[in-house]
Structure 1
Amino acid sequence: MTATDRAANFATGYALLHAAAAIGDMWVQTDTCARIKGATDTNPVIDRDEKAGTQTVHGTREGQLACLHHCATYTATQAAALLVGSRVLGLRLKPGRVAAALAVSFATHYVADRRLPLARLAKATGKGAFYERLTPICGSFELDQAWHHGWEAAAALVLAR
């Protein structure tokens, strides 16, 4: 494979991973996963049903399962984009490289979307106040997206070889 082929695979892979990430994160993710995926026993998510007068407390296990479900659908969205995009463009992506790139995407997405690891990283790097900021932008969302974009580039590098 030539350097030009690797560059084309990287650029195409990144574009496809990036577009599919936005779709998987914003359109495919369920509201339930979005609400519960960061839940822990020490920081639970509480759903209240005002009509029934009940509440459901979601802890660590529910958060982990919701995050796994979201990451599975997110990664499946990226896999579909890579499959369709590479077929349309005639790229010959190596299946092992595609699997490795999707594994990088899945694992790093899970880490960030459990929320606490990214919050800790933000604090450790001096970005804790920004992470907590809600206006005029939501710092945790912006840092989350930056994390994902960086790892999408890393996954595209895996694809390019």
Structure 2
Amino acid sequence: MPATFAAVFIALYIAHAVGDHWVQTSHQAGTKGGAGWSARRACGWHVLTLTLTKALVLAVVALVLDLRLAAPGLLIGLGLDAASHYWADRRFTLARLAARLRIDDFYRLGTAAHPHHPVTADGAPALTLGTGAYQLDQSWHLLWLGIAALIITV
């Protein structure tokens, strides 16, 4: 069972990286955290395509490695992962959690909203992919990938 857990987690991790960065559209990425139904719909479509990516990669890995995975575990694991992903990707939810945990300063790290934001040579805010918000988002997703892998495996 430990080897199955490892294979399932690695498959989910690979699929997460691909689905969250390659499959997600620019529209979904730019809209999913906003207000209103168009933002909720963009987030929903992102989570759907991400979950389908995870299911496809997991199916290939299970087939190649001859893993025996039960349907209820797959449905519950992928469903819980999808729900947690939607929750975090609405953005204001994760920002509120960071504030409640008193790590909102880290959440703003790497952005112009942080007092020690990166700057260009002329002193203007410099754009960076390395933000605290992104790191908290990805670590949240990794936590739920691990939980999903456990549920899928047992």
Normalised to the residue count of structure 2, the TM-score between the two structures is: 0.86
For 2:73 and 2:41, locate their aligned partners in 1 and report how far apart those are by CA, in whole Å: 27
Alpha-carbon distance, 1:133 to partner: 1.4
Kindly report the root-mean-square deviation, in angstroms, between the aligned alpha carbons of the 2 structures. 1.0
Partner of residue 141 from structure 1, selected from 112, 134, 146: 134
Residue in 1 that maps onto 2:60:
84
Residue-by-residue CA offset, 1:90-124 (whole Å, 9 max, x unaligned): 00111111111110110000000000110001111
Give the partner amino acid of 1:38.
Answer: G
Partner of residue 26 from structure 2, selected from 7, 26, 31: 31
- Does the CA contact (< 8 Å) of 1:39 and 1:114 recur in 2? yes
Instruction: Tell me whether 1:152 sits opposite 2:145 in the alignment.
Output: yes
- Does the CA contact (< 8 Å) of 1:9 and 1:159 recur in 2? no
For 2:103 and 2:62, locate their aligned partners in 1 and report how far apart those are by CA, in whole Å: 38
For 2:2 and 2:98, locate their aligned partners in 1 and report how far apart those are by CA, in whole Å: 32
Q: Which runs of 5+ in 1 are unaligned?
A: 1-5, 41-59
Partner of residue 10 from structure 2, selected from 12, 15, 19: 15
Instruction: Tell me whether 1:100 sits opposite 2:76 in the alignment.
Output: yes
Give the partner amino acid of 1:153.
Answer: G
For 2:74 and 2:10, locate their aligned partners in 1 and report how far apart those are by CA, in whole Å: 14
Instruction: Give the number of equivalent residue pairs.
Output: 137
For 1:91 and 1:133, locate their aligned partners in 2 and report how far apart those are by CA, in whole Å: 41
